[in-house]
Amino acid sequence: MEKSLDRKLARILAEPSCSEFILADAKDADMAFGLAAPGRSPEHHAHEACFRTLDEYRQMMRDITRQGLVDIMLMSAGSNEVLTIQERLFDDSPVTPAVRANDTTDIWLAAGTGRYATQPSRPFRTATIDHIQCAKAECSPEERRLGADLGLYSITFNNDAERDLETLDAYRRFRLEAEEKGFRHFLEVFDPNAPGEHAPEDGGRFLADHIVRALAGVTRRGRPLFLKIPYHGPAAMEALARYDRSLIVGILGGSAGTTFDAFQMLWEAKKYGARVALYGRKINHSEHQLTFVRYLRAIAEDQIGPDEAVRAYHADLARLGIQPHRPLEGDLKLTQTATAYSGSATAPPLRGGRRSVPVCGVSTNGWQPQPDFSQMSQAEKVRWNLERWRRVLE
């Protein structure tokens, strides 16, 4: 069956001003959070760490895939083995299976300790391309079609030559192996997770400059299909999207926030040039994931605006007999949500924000660096990490 991702990518590249939009459900959090990855169980009570099981997490992957409104289902290699290779879930589906191809140290968040996230990101890969493609160490040419042929590769620049060189060298090795084995990828670039005293003044410009510089020496066969980056506001998005029309720009969702946060971010990012949105916690922590995804798709296809979508979503929850996390008035508010797995970086408000370095004559919203941990007491560090973890799981 033709995959909607392939059709949309082809059209966007041929006609950049088209209205096509790619939507992905990112259910790869088991490679980051451990037991908390599937999200809170309906039986969760205050102060009780009661989470869904991995089986329940995978059932939501099945349900959303069968719904057919997302273009990509992003999973861990373990979930890919079960759903793609063993169950053949995607054989007769327009949805493309994809796998997180690396797990850098800044997403090692098991038990929510936060310690790894406070240290500069280091490259690491648990999954191999062969295990993603055929679930074993070496695949024959015909076996490479059994599993996913698309992966997410993640990098984090920290404005540190030694660490960034290590990051780029690992990415270069991955690209060469992927090209040799016929494996496609898209590139996730996080904000700096531990830049210390060298935090960039303008996060959006820093990110964009490093992306285009890093990819300038990569030829078509080795380039990512698209980007997954934090949304830094209209000017930063527009500057990157217009720079190279062959480079498709997508946004990552970050932490859950309000329903309006999720809907407004998608609507605004598309308006200023984004053509992909990959939402993980925003979908996974919603009251009813299938209904939430339905409104994400409606917004992506310009059928409804963010405000109206929130109201309609709440009306649907009422019809389903589901209690919303927040009253409607609260769910219509914009809040500041974390853009990194660890919660250490936050997106600027979607409207307003402080002025920073101009791009194309327009100012971009600023990036807020994490605290200087060297100046904090142990008690302050513990308190900061507790607050960060609450934001991640909200």
Which pLDDT score, from 0 to 100, does residue 255 have?
83
Tally the domains of the chain: 1
How far is Cα 18 from Cα 248, in angstroms, rounded to an integer?
12
Which pLDDT score, from 0 to 100, does residue 26 have?
98
Inform me whether the pLDDT recorded for 244 exceeds 60: yes
Question: In this predicted structure, which of 107-111, 135-139, 153-157, 219-223 has the lowest mean pLDDT?
Answer: 107-111
Inform me whether the pLDDT recorded for 118 exceeds 80: yes
How far is Cα 181 from Cα 130, in angstroms, rounded to an integer?
8
Full residue range of the structural domain in which residue 92 is found: 4-393
- This prediction has a pTM of 0.86
Which pLDDT score, from 0 to 100, does residue 366 have?
37
Which pLDDT score, from 0 to 100, does residue 394 have?
46
How far is Cα 118 from Cα 107, in angstroms, rounded to an integer?
11
β-pair partners for 188: 154, 228
Which pLDDT score, from 0 to 100, does residue 264 have?
97
Cβ atoms of 256 and 292 closer than 8 Å? no
Question: In this predicted structure, which of 68-82, 155-169, 311-325, 357-371 has the lowest mean pLDDT?
Answer: 357-371
Question: In this predicted structure, which of 99-108, 181-190, 311-320, 332-341 has the lowest mean pLDDT?
Answer: 332-341
Which pLDDT score, from 0 to 100, does residue 145 have?
96
Which pLDDT score, from 0 to 100, does residue 49 have?
61
Cβ atoms of 129 and 182 closer than 8 Å? no
Question: In this predicted structure, which of 12-16, 45-49, 180-184, 360-364 has the lowest mean pLDDT?
Answer: 360-364
Q: What percent of the chain has pLDDT over 70?
A: 82
Which pLDDT score, from 0 to 100, does residue 40 have?
82
Residues 61-113: tens digit of each pLDDT: 999 999 999 999 999 999 999 999 999 999 999 999 999 999 999 999 877 65
Q: What's the mean pLDDT in 334-350? A: 63
List Cβ neighbours of 300 (8 Å cut-off, separation of 6 or more).
Answer: 21, 23, 266, 270, 277
The arrangement of strands across the sheet holding 250-252 comes to 227-228, 184-190, 150-156, 96-100, 72-75, 22-27, 276-279, 250-252
Residues 277-308: tens digit of each pLDDT: 999 999 999 999 999 999 999 999 999 999 99
Which pLDDT score, from 0 to 100, does residue 196 have?
86
Inform me whether the pLDDT recorded for 393 exceeds 70: no
How far is Cα 235 from Cα 348, in angstroms, rounded to an integer?
12
Inform me whether the pLDDT recorded for 357 exceeds 50: no
Give the domain CATH number at 36.
3.20.20.70
Inform me whether the pLDDT recorded for 45 exceeds 50: no
Which pLDDT score, from 0 to 100, does residue 354 have?
31
Nearest to 347 by CA among 253, 282, 227: 253
Q: What's the mean pLDDT in 365-383? A: 49
- The full 3-state SS of the chain, as one line of letters, equals CCCHHHHHHHHHHHCCCCCCCEEEEEECHHHCCHHHCCCECCCCCCCCCCECCHHHHHHHHHHHHHHCCCCEEEECHHHHHHHHHHCCCCCCCCCEEEEECCCCHHHCCHHHCCCHHHCCCCCCCCCCHHHHHHCCCCCCHHHHHCCCCEEEEEEECCCCHHHHHHHHHHHHHHHHHHHHHCCEEEEEEECCCCCHHHCCCCHHHHHHHHHHHHHHCCCHHHCCCEEEECCCCHHHHHHHHHHCCCCECEEECCCCCCHHHHHHHHHHHHHCCCCEEEECHHHHCCCCHHHHHHHHHHHHCCCCCHHHHHHHHHHHHHHHCCCCCCCHHHHCCCCCCECCCCCCCECCCCCCCCCCCEECCEECCCCECCCCHHHCCHHHHHHHHHHHHHHHHC
Q: What percent of the chain has pLDDT over 90?
A: 76
- HSE of 200, CA atoms in CB hemisphere, 13 A: 22
User: Between 346 and 109, where is the model more confident?
Assistant: 109
Compute the mean pLDDT over every residue in the chain, rounded to the nearest whole number: 88
How far is Cα 113 from Cα 389, in angstroms, rounded to an integer?
8
User: Between 383 and 175, where is the model more confident?
Assistant: 175
> Computed over its alpha carbons, how large is the radius of gyration of the chain?
20
| Tokens 């995978």 sit on residue | 58
Q: Compute how many other C-beta atoms are within 10 angstroms of the C-beta atom of residue 357.
A: 15
For residue 171, what are its two tokens? 């990415």
pLDDT band at 117 (very low <50, low <70, confident <90, very high): confident
Q: What are phi and psi of 163, to 5 degrees?
A: -70, -40
